[in-house]
Amino acid sequence: MSEELRALRVGVLGCGQISQAGHFEACRKAMNAELYAICDVAQDLLARVVAIHAPEKAYTDYDAMLADPDVEAVIVAIADQFHVPMALKALEAGKHVLVEKPMGVSVEECEELRDAAGASGLVVQVGTEKRFDEGIAFARDFIREEMGEMIALKAWYCDSTHRYTMTDALQPVIEASEKAMRPEGNPKADLRRYYVLGHASHLLDTTRFLGGEIEAIRTRLVEKFGAYCWFSEVAFAEGSVGHLDLTIKVRMDWHEGFQVYGEHGSVIGKTYNPWYYKPSDVECFSERDGQYHRTLGADGHFFRRQVEGFAESILDGAPMRGADAEDGLAAMRAMVAMARSAETGEAVRPSEVKGGV
Ligand SMILES: NC(=O)c1ccc[n+]([C@@H]2O[C@H](COP(=O)([O-])OP(=O)(O)OC[C@H]3O[C@@H](n4cnc5c(N)ncnc54)[C@H](O)[C@@H]3O)[C@@H](O)[C@H]2O)c1
């Protein structure tokens, strides 16, 4: 790690739920980053959050934070509809960007951000923090280095009816404000869209992280008793098959995981609700030694590990361990393909979709 630039000076845009539960603490605990500035239009919320986290600077005006030459990088932690415009502004101001997932709300705007990222020479990372789950990273290393050819992958992400009871117990008290800036209309008015953007963004990123590029997806959506179930049949490159399960309001505990079958071994993973900060339990069976392999994964602070990885890429030029702009765009394409397929029943190729979910 560079000696002169040990701590990346980060400005966080947005003092909402995800910043309070994840990013502020992550920046403060990171070994190579600091919570230098925070920004929110809601003055009352900003004041309460400043009292807790004591950054060097606090801004109600995003342009003023971007004009601060000491801010080196921005975490864009605001509503999905604002991600791309505010990330583009940060790049124009010469700041590196960690943008929350989903990268944006349409293929075209994600392409614009991907292009701007490439032209800027700055680091753009998308906040799918599960790539920093040591269990999932262990599975990916095994798949790449030992498993040989993949034949099939199953992955499931099922949000529980009991999750708020759990997250209320696990997260800090979340401050809120009537003055918070929200996108026009009610994002929850269309729950299908809201759930795909919020949750399929994780499922599809983990699927690509472990299984590689998705060539086509055929989805069936069933809605019953207030629950939503998207079952998808996936074709990966090189003829491998996949089955993805996105179920929202499943009547049980948080239920997330994956199974991957390969030529020289197989992988089974159980992922916990992220706010437990407990890495996935992963077992990789290897034909090489006839043994199951697992990692302890003692460091379960995915959000801290994510910002540390982001800072390493900026300060030390380390290869990005998170999702880059191409990954963010690919996840957006896969989300749109899943939504289109659920409407028509036809298989849809992510490479051919346009528009939003
Ligand atoms: N990675 C994860 O697991 C995870 C979990 C939850 C949420 N998220 C994502 O995080 C993002 C933010 O979610 P949230 O629930 O914290 O949002 P939120 O709406 O609760 O908070 C956003 C805050 O940003 C402020 N804001 C918005 N635009 C602004 C601007 N231009 N200038 C100054 N302040 C501005 C608002 O006033 C608000 O206080 C969403 O995209 C969501 O999908 C990710």
> Does position 311 have pLDDT exceeding 80, yes or no?
yes
Q: Which of 181, 206, 272, 305 to mutate for ligand 1's pocket (most ligand atoms within 8 Å of CB)? A: 181
- How far, in Å, is the centroid of ligand 1 from the Cα of 108? 21
| Both tokens assigned to 155 | 């992955």
How far is the C-alpha of 14 from the C-alpha of 206, rounded, in Å? 25
User: Which atom of ligand 1 is the closest one to the Cα of 182?
Assistant: 19
CB of 133 shorter than 6 A to ligand 1: no
| Sequence-distant (≥ 6) Cβ neighbours of residue 326 within 8 angstroms | 114
Mean pLDDT computed over 244-260: 98
Q: Where does residue 287 rank: exposed (0-12), middle (13-18), buried (19+ CB within 10 A)?
A: middle
How far is the C-alpha of 127 from the C-alpha of 16, rounded, in Å? 15
| Sequence-distant (≥ 6) Cβ neighbours of residue 244 within 8 angstroms | 154, 155, 156, 203, 204, 207, 217, 230, 231, 232, 234
> Does position 5 have pLDDT exceeding 70, yes or no?
no
> Does position 3 have pLDDT exceeding 50, yes or no?
yes
pLDDT of residue 187: 86
CB of 60 shorter than 6 A to ligand 1: no
CB of 100 shorter than 6 A to ligand 1: yes
User: Which atom of ligand 1 is the closest one to the Cα of 177?
Assistant: 39
- How far, in Å, is the centroid of ligand 1 from the Cα of 316? 29
pLDDT of residue 2: 46
Dihedral in degrees, nearest 10, Cα atoms 202, 210, 223, 252: -80
- How far, in Å, is the centroid of ligand 1 from the Cα of 15? 7
CB of 176 shorter than 6 A to ligand 1: no
pTM of the model: 0.97
